[in-house]
Amino acid sequence: MNIVADSKRIDWPNTCFVQSVADANQFPAGDWPQVAVAGHSNVGKSSLLNTLFGRKGLVKTSKNPGCTRLLNLFEVDAQLLVVDLPGYGYARAPKAEKNRWARLIDDYFSHATELKLVLLLLDIRHGPKDSDLQLVECLNEAGIRWLPVATKADKLSGNERSRRLKEMKDAIMLAPIPTSSLKTMGIEQLRNVIEEEAVSNSADTIESWLARTTR
């Protein structure tokens, strides 16, 4: 992965929580690049964000799946805004709740002009579910770049892990980055991708990006 030579590396632990917002209009002023992180509830999003930031406990793990209704904003090294989207797909959530989630996300995607990349978190053991595929469709329609990230890779051993990764790639047409928060695996690669996609000023085409990430 080439990082443009003059781009400043991000000091990831220099991250702080900014605020939680209930809709896109409440975003703080500023035009920092944004990276949003999405996934099914319980996919390991809070754990991954804490590991990515190198800050244990900064992102609260939700004890109550499906009960997060806000976008949580994190400022990373005064260069980047990471937007933690509420987990979706909680089977027992009432329909009205699911509709609220969809409206919130739709609203965010249509207003986030500085959104550079969405990380789609998928549990390596389960692969993409219908709600993940719906999100992929929505991102593709909106022309928003996204990257699959397989979580909890430590739960599978070598061959099984490779097999699941290939199945995921076949299902969504992009190769996921395998990660484990428990074993701090894949985190540097993820940081590099985010730095290149969101912070460096490299003019890049979607074609070359796809060629690089689809291996």
Interacting residues with ligand GDP (CB under 6 A) = 39, 41-47, 61-62, 65, 87, 151-152, 154-155, 180-182
Q: How far is the CB of 5 from ligand GDP (least distance, A)?
A: 33
- Identify which of residues 34 and 47 has a Cβ nearer to ligand GDP in the complex: 47
Of residues 45 and 116, the one with the C-beta less far from ligand GDP: 45
Please tell me the chain's helix, strand, coil percentages from 3-state DSSP, rounded to the nearest 5.
40, 20, 40
Question: To the nearest whole angstrom, how small is the minimum distance from the Cβ of residue 40 to ligand GDP?
Answer: 7
Nearer to ligand GDP, 43 or 71 (CB): 43
Q: How far is the CB of 59 from ligand GDP (least distance, A)?
A: 7
Neighbours of 65 (CB within 10 A): 16
Other residues' Cβ atoms within 10 Å of the Cβ of residue 214: 10
Report in angstroms how near the CB of residue 110 gets to ligand GDP at its nearest. Answer: 24
Nearer to ligand GDP, 15 or 46 (CB): 46
Closest to ligand GDP by CB, 34 or 50 = 50
Cβ at position 63, least distance to ligand GDP in Å: 8
* Pairwise CA distance, residues 175 & 148, whole Å: 7
- The tokens for 90 are 């909680």
The gap between the terminal CA atoms of the chain, to the nearest Å, is 13
CA gap 44, 21 in Å, rounded? 21
- In sequence order, the β-bridge partners of residue 83 are 36, 73
Give the three-state DSSP class for 131.
helix
